[in-house]
Structure 1
């Protein structure tokens, strides 16, 4: 058991050393990024840009930041404070706001295209009223034999402006609709006759 505890202690020390080294590298990298961003954006460390998040999101970020804070302002493992300075916060807010704006602009066209495609698909299933009326008129005139000839189809293509495939599909679907309605009507008549 003692060996196990010693092993765990050595792992803890190695891990802390590893984290210290990488934390220092991360802090230096963040500092370099901060300097680069400040030179690009022209934001001074004390400059604020206003709120870019709702109060709930802002409170969530604060609670996430404070979650690692110890009572003495350190992160609980002795690596130093994790509290952001006012300059760092304003820089983060400015970057967040700019990134949000860029994302909105970048995806706005795609969202509009997707919306148009969805609306086009919704409209695609329905024929215009006058076109459907023309096809229904032919259907009612030929209800005893609702199979148009090729000449009838060509004339309907001219009258409606639809493609031949659309005409064929409409008649197939109409026969199915009519078959179901006539089938249920004839079966109800048969049950009445049996009584």
Structure 2
């Protein structure tokens, strides 16, 4: 939920800075729009310059070349902002996807981990090199590999048979 809120806030900030709504990802510039927004921009620009210039010669209205320059600067700024937020947006998307796929690992991934487990059943503690190789092979993060082995040892491995029988006896007494 935090990732969704952060994404929404980022989108709102980007929208307020660029003037482009979320649905306008067509790559078209403002000058390409034929929906009457140019008239709105022209009136907004005129409203900004309604006052007299410093010499008292009348309203400051930008020339066509100044408008063209302002539009180019606006487009460059928009491009820089998009690139600046790109990494954050990618990070948020990855976090959302990670949370979505939380739970059981894919069968081929667990098969690779179980194969290592079975071949090292007497001492199932992989070395750092083993973990790195398994991470490369499965596409999991090192933390996921570590957690899988911790859980697997807790659930399926008893290094000391006498401790497992005593824990079973304790479970029976409290049941």
TM-score of the two chains, using structure 2 as the length reference: 0.37
The structure whose residues are more often helix, as a share, is: 1
TM-score of the two chains, using structure 1 as the length reference: 0.34
Structure with more contact order per residue of length (Cα contacts < 8 Å, sep ≥ 6): 2
